[in-house]
Amino acid sequence: MLSFLPGPVRGVLSFLLYLVNSICIVIPIVAIAVTKLIIPFAFWQVVSRKSLDLLATTWIDINSFNMWLFQKTRLEITGAENLKKEMWYLVISNHQSWVDILMLQKALNRKIPFLKFFIKQELIWVPVMGLAWWAMDFPFMKRYSKEFLKKNPHLKGKDIEVTRKACEKYKTIPVSIVNFVEGTRFTDEKHTRQDSPFTHLLKPKAGGMAFVLGSMGNLMTGIVNVTIVYPEGPKSFWDFLCGRIDSVKVHVDLLEISDDVIGSYENDPNFRAHFQTWINGVWEAKDRQIRKMKQAA
């Protein structure tokens, strides 16, 4: 551990290692993506997906080594004992800092499949990264705006159907889909502006999570409900790089996906009301969990 170095020096060196690691991983990912396009045989598709999963896991392993080398952050994880890498999960979490993503990856790496995010279908055309996301089987979603649906009411529900069909490959490929339910990072200013009923959380945005469950709920094994607490308060990614975050607490609850949380959120008002009540209950429990974790810090 290079904790004897001045914070800014550690920050620069750590950032460079993250950058180099990402570049070195993206290159073979893109190369494999090209072969997936030109070699459509089922055997190679399976081999390439396993190779990509190995690359992604190695990328997180090197990032974790980076944390050990330059940061002094202690990560305390509870409740993750029953997770399995061969299962399908929806991962939800509170969101306070860009550091959350690194903590999620380190806490869940090799315990569940590589974390993937739903990406707007248009982003597949982003140079290099779009191809990398496609190669890694990130789920691309097609969403219609309310204005578009008003002009084309016959397309209601088609976006979920398109996404559901795009996710057919996950029937044979275990996957973990991440959703930050609050939709943005928590700040006191946002908390006040929302008049949030929760002490430590913003109001949950039910639509995104309902969309994931509506598209893939029947494939999912469960919901990995992650609660992240920074005992000293959340800090910036630069603070993390410089070793200014002493400890992070991560608690995991595995929730069952029942039939009553899978439905048409946009088109069924009764289901929408039920789902909002359900996710508010999950968020009330998470708020209590955060208070408990802060008191134990």
Whether 59 is covered by a domain: the verdict is no
Report whether 138 contacts 116 (CB < 8 A): yes
Q: pTM higher than 0.85 for the full model?
A: yes
Kindly state whether residue 58 falls inside one of the protein's structural domains.
no
25 within a domain of the structure (yes/no): no
pLDDT of residue 105: 93
The CATH number of the domain where 110 resides is what? 3.40.1130
Q: Domain range for residue 162? A: 73-296
The pLDDT assigned to 119 comes to: 77
pLDDT of residue 166: 66
What pLDDT score does 239 carry? Answer: 94
Q: Is residue 270 part of a domain?
A: yes
What averages of pLDDT result for each successive group of 10 residues across the chain (297 residues)?
A: 83 94 89 84 83 90 93 92 91 94 93 86 76 78 68 68 70 85 91 94 89 83 96 91 93 94 87 95 96 87
Three-state DSSP class for 253?
strand
User: Within a domain: residue 27?
Assistant: no
pLDDT of the residue at 276: 95
The answer to whether the CB of 255 falls within 8 A of the CB of 222 is yes
Measured between alpha carbons, how far apart are the two ends of the chain, in Å?
24
Residue 10 lies in a domain: no
pLDDT, position 157 = 64
In-domain check, residue 219: yes
Whether 169 maps to a domain, the answer reads yes
Give me the number of domains the chain comprises: 1
Per-residue pLDDT tens over the stretch 101-142: 999 999 999 999 999 887 777 777 877 677 778 778 787 776
- Where do the H-state alpha helices sit in the chain? 7-38, 42-70, 99-108, 129-135, 146-151, 158-166, 188-194, 206-216, 237-241, 269-296
- Indicate the residue type of 52: L
> How confident is the model at residue 104, as a pLDDT?
94
